[in-house]
């Protein structure tokens, strides 16, 4: 539930998915099998603890006969996955052919390994639970640099992207964390 009693897009998506699954007479296990996703993911999406991908929404629409409803809701869910002040930047990243910025002490988010991102988020928010940090890392993990395509070897982040030595020598989270970026 969002602030002021408004329903979030994720809560709406979750409710529609749960209702469509129930009307189809399927269990979470059965739906997961039809979608070729894990039962755990179906359960997380239904409870609103995990945002669905566009592929998940499309497969669920097909399996449940919802006429494209879930696919139409998914972009709104994705937009809510990031803080309001950052949402415009996510769209800029998606459309950009190149990005340039200067970070003297931290490796920019899209170039971070999962371990490095976890260490940075944990250091920035020491009083918060580990689940918050894990959710932040997962949320950022779906973003890609321009030209970075899944399944295309050699297109990942790294020094090829112009990362400076100062950031690579910085030891936030322990000395071994930046080493995975070399």
User: What is the rounded CA–CA span in Å between residue 165 and residue 169?
Assistant: 6
Q: Is there a contact between 17 and 70 (Cβ–Cβ < 8 Å)?
A: yes
pTM equals 0.51
Domains of the chain (ranges; CATH) run 3-80 (1.10.260.40), 85-181 (no CATH)
Reported confidence tier of residue 13, pLDDT bands at 50, 70, 90 = very high
What are the pLDDT digits (tens) for 89-136?
A: 777 887 888 877 666 666 666 666 777 777 777 777 676 656 655 666
What DSSP letter does each residue of 115-167 carry, written as one string? HHHHHHHHHH-TTS-HHHHHHHHHHHHT---TT--TT-TT-S-SGGG---HHH
**Angle made by CA atoms 161, 156, 167, in degrees to the nearest 5:** 45
More confident residue, 76 or 2: 76
What are the pLDDT digits (tens) for 20-78?
A: 999 999 999 999 999 999 999 999 999 988 889 999 999 999 999 999 999 999 998 98
């Amino acid at each position: 539930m969002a602030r002021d009693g408004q329903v979030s897009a994720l809560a709406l998506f979750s409710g529609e998915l749960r209702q469509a699954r129930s009307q189809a007479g399927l269990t979470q296990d059965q739906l997961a099998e039809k979608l070729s996703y894990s039962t755990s993911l179906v359960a997380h999406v239904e409870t609103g603890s995990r945002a669905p991908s566009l592929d998940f929404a499309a497969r669920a629409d097909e399996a449940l006969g919802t006429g494209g409803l879930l696919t139409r809701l998914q972009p709104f869910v994705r937009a809510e996955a990031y803080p309001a002040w950052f949402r415009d930047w996510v769209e800029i990243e998606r459309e950009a052919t190149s990005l340039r910025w200067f970070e003297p002490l931290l490796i920019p988010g899209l170039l971070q390994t999962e371990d490095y991102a976890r260490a940075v988020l944990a250091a920035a928010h020491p009083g918060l639970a580990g689940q918050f940090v894990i959710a932040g890392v997962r949320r950022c993990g779906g973003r890609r640099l321009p030209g970075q395509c899944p399944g295309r070897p050699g297109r990942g982040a790294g020094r090829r992207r112009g990362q400076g030595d100062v950031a690579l020598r910085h030891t936030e989270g322990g000395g071994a964390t930046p080493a995975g970026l070399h």
